[in-house]
Structure 1
Amino acid sequence: MNDYTTYLKKEGYTIKTIKSKELALQYFTKWCKRQSTCAIEIDYKTCLKYIKHLTRKGNSKKTINHKLSNIKTYFNYLISESYRTDNPIENTNVRGTQRSINYNLLEPEELEDLYYSYETDTYQEEYHKYTSKRNKIIVGLLVYQGLDTQDLKNLKLEHLQLNKGKIYVPSRKRSNARELELKPWQMMEFMEYINEVRKYLLQRLNIDTDQLFPSGDRFIITNTIIKKLKKYNRKIESNKQIRASVITNWLSQYNLRKTQVLAGHRYISSTERYLQDDLENLHEIVNNYHPIQ
């Protein structure tokens, strides 16, 4: 258990979450012993028996999914330590739990219009001209790559891979790392940004940092950007709304697994929250989830 606790701390989980995961593991371990198995050896079919056990104990579907999430973390730990080669319940969730519904989503055309509408040539003063060019690049990362504020803050100069036409987004406590394709026009904007705009901003701000978007300790750039985007489209509410729109639109083009990778979700259940209630997406759920009722 001590090694597992160390793993959880390295993964950035809070003390409260670590305690919850350890308690879930203790309960799961005791059940496994009664079934003459253990976490290293248990297979998918036996895991289904554990879910049925939790159901008979009166746990709600939401609670069962929470318990499964904790056990998935332990399986991932076992994989990292080479005790297992697979996570038998990686894509397993109890269907029927209520999904959050995303209101006031933006269509792909509306998202792209935000990028093309963002003005950069209306400022005469040098500082505002350069910050507006930086901000337009950030708008592109919002509407094309679906990044959130913390992703933007964590980006470093080395994460920009113009030679590959991609940008690397590092992992966080609750998200996976991923490499995302850049649009050709984004690459052109980035070239000017790296060669001219960023250098000017570093000098003007009088800071030395490897942040892709120099900002100091607080990253409040997106606050200014969202305020300006509201002038272009009255539907704009927040960066979270934009990201939800991007992920939802991805789901209309790709399957759950690819969208999960693009969004950086650790668990496919996080991606499922963005599915809309139509027949096509309901079919997607049936194809990607084990039929546990």
Structure 2
Amino acid sequence: MEYKTFLKYIEHLRKGNVKARTLKTYIGNLKIYFDYLVSEHYRLQNIIKDLHIKGVKKSVKKNFLEFEELEDIYYSYPISKGNELARKRNKIIVGLLVYQGLNTRDLQLLEVEHIQLYKGKITIPGTRKSNTRELELKPWQLMEFMEYINAVRPEILEQTDKETEQLLLPMGKSSNLHGVLAKITKELKAINNSFTDIKQLRTSVIISWLQHYSLRKVQYLAGHKYISSTERYVQDDLESLHETINTYHPFS
């Protein structure tokens, strides 16, 4: 069996509505068989050794937002109403959600030392489930962080009588951002009725990154420990395989 013939076999199974998990099992068994043929010198190589079916991977939410929608959420978030200190802090948070794709855990762990204004970057500390990474800040984020670190945050510390290196501070006695993020979530729903939750923002940012960067680059930006975590955000799955087969291996 040649590689082109094998691709035709996959196409035949796909048209027969064979599920991705079943298809992966078929291919796995054939890989073992080809390995055996190579070991017994009946074949020179295993032609399907590097072929993988992604359709069995856990997929992410489909209702993601386009990058233009993400930016609109950021620019539409108002800082002119309510407590000015809280609003400016919240604007910082929305920016980190939209441009750096942070999750709630990342936001909670940030400290002042993680902001490198002179480099225009932010360090996201790693956890048991995520890798440390250094991300670029947008120019307008730098301006906001300069004001926040030098004026807004010290005022929040004074008003709440706190002594901490935590970067993003609630206005009350608690250091947990849960209440802050719950309020931001409610406000963002009013800005964009397609917005559901903060996880959706992170999903949307990662999908947007995948349109511009390599899988490995996005793995780093997202802080994923394993490439398989990043692959979950690839939307095409078997359709992508079908396109590849038709483009590079057209059948007569």
TM-score of the superposed pair, with normalisation by structure 2: 0.71
Taking a change above 3 Å as real, the CA distance of residues 281 and 160 of structure 1, as seen in their structure-2 partners, is farther
Partner secondary structure for residue 140 of structure 1: helix
Runs (4 or more) in structure 1 with deviation over 4 Å come to 278-283
Taking a change above 3 Å as real, the CA distance of residues 100 and 166 of structure 1, as seen in their structure-2 partners, is same
Question: Aligned equivalents of 1:282 and 1:195: distance in 2?
Answer: 52
Selected match of 1:205 from 150, 160, 164: 160
Aligned length: 195
In the alignment, is the contact (CA less than 8 A) between 1:169 and 1:177 conserved in 2? yes
Alignment of 1:84-99 (within 5 A): 95-96=53-54, 97-99=56-58
Shift of 1:133: 0.5
Cα RMSD over matched residues? Answer: 2.7
Q: What is the match of residue 47 of structure 1?
A: none
Q: What is the match of residue 260 of structure 1?
A: 219
Partner secondary structure for residue 218 of structure 1: coil
1:274 aligns with 2:214: no
Partner secondary structure for residue 179 of structure 1: strand
**Structure 1 runs not aligned, ≥5 long:** 1-59, 63-91, 287-293
In the alignment, is the contact (CA less than 8 A) between 1:275 and 1:281 conserved in 2? no
Selected match of 2:61 from 102, 106, 129: 102
Taking a change above 3 Å as real, the CA distance of residues 278 and 161 of structure 1, as seen in their structure-2 partners, is same
1:168 aligns with 2:132: no
Q: What is the match of residue 239 of structure 1?
A: 198
Identity %: 54
In the alignment, is the contact (CA less than 8 A) between 2:112 and 2:165 conserved in 1? yes
Alignment of 1:275-290 (within 5 A): 275-277=234-236
Rg bigger for which structure? 2
Return the letter of the residue paired with 1:172.
Answer: T
**Structure 2 runs not aligned, ≥5 long:** 1-22, 26-49, 246-252
Alignment of 1:100-249 (within 5 A): 100-123=59-82, 128-215=83-170, 216-220=174-178, 221-249=180-208
Shift of 1:214: 2.1
Taking a change above 3 Å as real, the CA distance of residues 187 and 278 of structure 1, as seen in their structure-2 partners, is same
Question: Aligned equivalents of 1:268 and 1:140: distance in 2?
Answer: 26
Q: Using CA pairs below 8 Å that are at least 6 residues apart, which structure has the higher relative contact order?
A: 2
